[in-house]
Amino acid sequence: MKPLVDGFSTRRTVFTGGFGTQVGRARLGHSSPAITLGYYAHFMPEAGSKGRTAIDGLVGWPDRMLREVTATRYIEPLRSGGSVPGIVEADDLGTYVVKFIGSAQGRKALVAEVIVGELARALGLRFPELVLVHFDPEIADEEPHQEVRDLHGASAGLNLGMDYLPGAQDFTPEVAARCTVDPLEAGKIVWLDALTVNVDRTVHSSNLMIWPTLGIAPPRLWLIDHGAALVFHHRWDGADPTKAYDFRHHALGHYSPETRAADGELAPKVTEELLRRIAAEVPDAWLAGEPGFATPDAVREAYVGYLHARVKASEAWLPTDFPSREERAAEDALRAAKTQQGRPSWLKRVPDLHGKPAAEQDWSVHLG
């Protein structure tokens, strides 16, 4: 296949001959599709989405943020989170991490993923492209684990996919210790999290990744996983757009986030028009039946109203107080000492691993 606009599908099509990563792996002599993806994703990390946007215009596809694809091959489940997403290949030759509608987190987690993720992208933050994925459980009929099969069976139809970042590395405390993050970039991410009430980006659960990790392109910080954001939509009648939340232990707190500068730059961009455009991307089926709302459009307007009111009230909730790396280390040591003191003598010999991941997550291992 000849490459089209702006290196379209560089890693997925040009190097694999248009047949997907498995065939490309065989043609290139790689032992794993993860190697194929890892080697060639670095040339133009953002070329795929740019090229697809250009091609969408050429072929007359509608001007939407979220494309629709159909899953054609199920590769493997990801067990790093409670929702057990799966890696799939789709009919656009893309590879995606799919979050299933039938997971325990429910459809509101997918709604939050769309609204926060697309808002992040609209504000210029790095977040993988989202797509709506039509999923037929039959393509995963060889999955051996019954609980995963049950999840697939409950997720036939429209699900949410996130562009797979091959070889991406979790932004763990160990990785963070050797990384530098621009204070303004850190401030923008903290600002977005405070706006969308995303308290699930902490030191030991950052929901941040470093990518690419191979090749010539410099590694950059990417946002992932916003299913726990928008906590107000679990109780609409108690939603207060001026409420402040504790972000002192945000994953980027020790990079001196310039949240006031971020507020000055980003707040004017979060208009009602932008919020309505983003909310329109959420499928009706994920909004239908919400208690207290007559139609999906009424729910969309509730999201728009809350977030726009919260933007205008940013002075009330803007986080500005962050502990230094040394202060946080002292707090961690004090907490560990208190935990150790409260243990019985026989348990004091067991190392305290609270809040620390057992192993560094690397999505590419699931493609072997």
Residue 121 · residue 127 · CB < 8 Å: yes
On the question of pLDDT at 32 being above 80, the answer is no
* Residue 162, strand partner residues: 97, 130
Helix, strand or coil, per DSSP, at residue 69: strand
Lowest mean pLDDT among 46-60, 315-329, 350-364: 46-60
d(CA 270, CA 267): 5
d(CA 257, CA 190): 7
On whether the pTM is more than 0.85, the answer is: no
Residues 6+ positions from 344 with CB-CB distance below 8 Å: none
Residue 40: predicted pLDDT: 52
DSSP 319-339: ------HHHHHHHHHHHHHHH
CA 263 to chain CA centroid, Å, is: 22
**pLDDT bracket for residue 340 (50, 70, 90):** confident
Residues 6+ positions from 290 with CB-CB distance below 8 Å: 296, 299
pLDDT digits (tens, 9 = 90+) for 20-29: 555 555 555 5
d(CA 173, CA 95): 28
On the question of pLDDT at 82 being above 60, the answer is yes
Residues 6+ positions from 62 with CB-CB distance below 8 Å: 56
pLDDT digits (tens, 9 = 90+) for 291-304: 999 999 999 999 99
